[in-house]
Amino acid sequence: MSITITAFERSPDGGKGMARDMRVRWALEEVGQPYEVRPVSFAAMKAPAHRRVQPFGQIPTFEDGEVALFESGAIVLHVATCHPGLLPADPAARARAISWMFAAVGTVEPVIMDREAAEYLEHEEPWFAPRLRAAEDRIRGRLTDLSRRLGDADWLDGAFSAGDLMMADVLRRLGGSALLAEHPNLGAYVDRAEARPAFRRAFDAQRAFFEAHQPAPQQLPRHRSG
């Protein structure tokens, strides 16, 4: 059965691949599985039809005729489990790769998203400056631990795996920030991940999807000169 995932009809990230459908696209490209993308408007995300698959009214979702899934981490794990290429064959190494997947979405991503939420929602509040410093201190703590663990290795645990895919995609949210620049090995790690052909295919596909679903430019009414 063909695979269909959902994505924002008009992504607020401006086509930068920060929405979480990006990591699902990337995983499918890594394992060589074709897929279709169904655009979902913000209104449709909250409608009953979408909530039957995604109870919280978000994207992405995944459907292949046999299973319907939500949550990007669960989708990537399903893809990696069903198709070779993203999880090691050795049981212990496979378990470690899955641990890194959970670390990406459960340990590193929440502190990054907390900073983003503060910037979007609290930037005009009188407590914003100390709030932002606290959020960034938490990110620095996570990045320091991750940088120490990665060291001078290319990937987190041997060959590239779904754990690296998820972690690199999470770290991409810090791209260009001073926080990531404090750890050159992490910046290089993200660069290596983004240089993978599967990532480039996924990024180009989501960029084309974004551009195809932008509203047509409005034409100004013509006025006769007087």
Mean pLDDT of the 35-59 span: 96
Residue 118 confidence class, pLDDT cut points 50, 70, 90: confident
Judged against a pLDDT cut of 90, whether residue 131 lies above it is answered with no
Query: Are 34 and 3 a contacting pair, CB within 8 Å?
Result: yes
The model's pLDDT over 173-223, given as tens digits with 9 standing for 90+, comes to 998 789 999 999 999 999 999 999 999 999 999 999 888 887 755 544 443
Whether 15 has a pLDDT exceeding 80, the answer reads yes
52-92: pLDDT as tens digits: 999 999 999 999 999 999 999 999 999 999 999 999 999 99
The reply to whether the predicted model has a pTM over 0.85 is yes
42-46: Cβ within 8 A, 24+ apart:
42/8, 42/9, 44/9
Q: What is the mean pLDDT of the chain?
A: 92
pLDDT for 87-110, tens place per residue?
A: 999 999 999 999 999 999 999 999
**C-alpha distances out from residue 58 to 51, 97, 125, 160, 177, Å:** 8, 26, 28, 28, 27
